[in-house]
Amino acid sequence: MNSRRDFLLKTGLTALGASLVSKVQAAGIPEAVIQTEASTQPPVMPASGRPYNPVVTLNGWSLPHQMKNGVKEFHLVAEPVVREFAPGMVAHMWGYNGQSPGPTLECVEGDRIRIFVTNKLPEHTTIHWHGVLLPSGMDGVGGLSQPHIKPGQTYVYEFTMKKSGTFMYHPHADEMVQMAMGMMGFLVVHPKNPDFMKVDRDYVFLLSAYDIDPGSYTPRVSEMTDFNLWTFNSRVFPGLDPLVARTGERVRIRVGNLTMTNHPIHLHGHDFEVTCTDGGWVPKSARWPEVTTDVAVGQMRAVEFTATAGDWALHCHKSHHTMNAMGHKLPTMIGVPQRELTAKVRKLIPDYMGMGSKGMADMGEMEMPLPDNTLPMMSGQGPFGAVEMGGMFTVLKVRDNQKKGDYSDPGWYDNPAGTVAWLYEGEEPSTVRASPATSTDHDLKVRKPTGHEGH
């Protein structure tokens, strides 16, 4: 007999897939902790579970866990969020627990972890644990390793962390849209022995890129190459916090790339070694010194160095990645006199400014009228004037007197006397030309690039 009650019971049971959470189990889900701040949150020592040295997420935070019968439980909520990229601009994105990127998850090698993922997006999603060695059915590829997590559903991922290292998480469902909307996060597995590869400060951030038209709020999700906002953790200069350290401290910076192009990450004033990739720790014998490390798409690189006092730029070395939203089709105006032209255009557009005759440096200082919710292309004030940067740029601030564990901004560096480049005010020497090349039979052919060549 097929009573209505039987029918409901059967369909109800069918809907409860292997890892889909029933209402009874749901009562045991850890509370979803939400973050509303876009500023760097100080590291949190674990209240339970194995001890570890926590990381600091640049302009981000780590998700608290709870222990349940020896299993470390987390609760991620995929949802629409509002993220401030820098004061003056917010974006309407998708992320986790109130922010994009999502919170950093921290656990320890050997931990059994259980991650509840609740979908509050308007479409289905999954989470892939990038680089983690786990059972195939926990790999999070929608359709391949599991059913999609439909809006309103909660799925559970549970596996044991076989090795320590640096990993990422992101959806493997409608991936182009969901990543373009900001869905991603960091996953750090600490070594079982807290003294292994121990550092004094351990920073993490993701590289992500968005295409948000000036004056608008939502990223364009169909963009493949022409992104206009290049971010560290969905944040751009001058909105990025500084990385802070005390002179002589051992510092690690872990960077993951979830954009669609590579980023040569460059640190001033130090040489460093790559000590960890998504594949694991790099043995000492296999490291070499660098000042720039290229982080390719889908890769993670951790660099380590000993901190030297000063204010040191940390940035992507692609110069258009250290700028905020700009038009790609700007003509080169260097050498073009615009005074007459500007006067004529101003009769039609009173705010018009002729720019670029002497380069673009003026733009770092000028107060240009901008559409609402748009950041200047290059901005930020330093102790000596306009910094003329945007995007993937921040400052490593190292001080002799920065207290251990103090992550607050110490202000600008007080340079010791006689160590700042100075203005020469003596006599100009007469110009002497170098002797010209003797050979004249070079046939120089120049081939100009025709497009962006996939930057």
Q: Which range in 1-9, 99-107, 154-162, 259-267 contacts Cu ion by CB under 5 A?
A: 259-267
Give me 15's structure tokens. Answer: 């809907």
- Smallest distance from the beta carbon of 172 to Cu ion, in angstroms? 24
- Smallest distance from the beta carbon of 392 to Cu ion, in angstroms? 5
- 432-439: Cβ within 8 A, 24+ apart: none
Q: Quick check: helix, strand or coil at residue 230?
A: strand
Q: Which range in 18-26, 29-37, 255-263, 326-334 contacts Cu ion by CB under 5 A?
A: 255-263
Full DSSP string of 58-70: TT--B---EEETT
- Smallest distance from the beta carbon of 377 to Cu ion, in angstroms? 16
Contact present, 229 and 377 (Cβ < 8 Å): no
* 170 forms part of the interface with Cu ion (CB under 5 A): no
Q: Which range in 29-37, 242-250, 316-324, 409-417 contacts Cu ion by CB under 5 A?
A: 316-324
Q: What b/e readout covers 344-370, taking b as 16+ CB neighbours within 10 angstroms?
A: eeeeeeeeeebbbeeebebbbeeeeee
Q: Residue 263 and residue 275: Cα distance in Å, rounded?
A: 18
What x-and-dash track marks residues 209-248 binding Cu ion by CB under 5 A?
Answer: ----------------------------------------
Q: Single out the residue of 192, 220, 268, 318 in contact with Cu ion (rule: CB under 5 A).
A: 318
- Smallest distance from the beta carbon of 227 to Cu ion, in angstroms? 10
Total residues belonging to the chain: 455
- Smallest distance from the beta carbon of 264 to Cu ion, in angstroms? 7
Q: Which range in 1-9, 16-24, 198-206, 257-265 contacts Cu ion by CB under 5 A?
A: 257-265
Q: Residue 266 and residue 328: Cα distance in Å, rounded?
A: 24
Residue number, 316 or 375, with CB nearest to Cu ion: 316
- Smallest distance from the beta carbon of 186 to Cu ion, in angstroms? 18
* 315 forms part of the interface with Cu ion (CB under 5 A): no
* 321 forms part of the interface with Cu ion (CB under 5 A): yes
State whether the Cα torsion 203-209-215-217 is positive or negative.
negative
- Smallest distance from the beta carbon of 291 to Cu ion, in angstroms? 16
Q: Which range in 87-95, 232-240, 298-306, 314-322 contacts Cu ion by CB under 5 A?
A: 314-322
Give me 366's structure tokens. Answer: 């000028």
Contacts of 283 (CB under 8 A, 6+ apart): none
- Smallest distance from the beta carbon of 318 to Cu ion, in angstroms? 4
Q: Residue 61 and residue 351: Cα distance in Å, rounded?
A: 41
Q: Quick check: helix, strand or coil at residue 162?
A: coil
Residue number, 164 or 208, with CB nearest to Cu ion: 208
Full DSSP string of 10-32: HHHHHHS-TTBPPHHHHTTSPP-
- 94-97: Cβ within 8 A, 24+ apart: 94/121, 94/178, 94/181, 94/182, 94/183, 95/182, 95/183, 95/234, 96/183, 96/185, 97/32, 97/33, 97/34, 97/35, 97/63
Residue number, 220 or 318, with CB nearest to Cu ion: 318
Q: Which range in 216-224, 242-250, 273-281, 320-328 contacts Cu ion by CB under 5 A?
A: 320-328
- Smallest distance from the beta carbon of 207 to Cu ion, in angstroms? 7
**Sequence letter at residue 135:** P
Using CB atoms within 10 A of its CB, is residue 431 exposed (0-12), middle (13-18) or buried (19+)? exposed
How many chain residues are in contact with Cu ion, going by CB under 5 A? 4
* 316 forms part of the interface with Cu ion (CB under 5 A): yes
* 263 forms part of the interface with Cu ion (CB under 5 A): yes
Residue number, 192 or 318, with CB nearest to Cu ion: 318
Q: Which range in 87-95, 165-173, 260-268, 440-448 contacts Cu ion by CB under 5 A?
A: 260-268
What is the binding site for Cu ion (CB under 5 A)? 263, 316, 318, 321
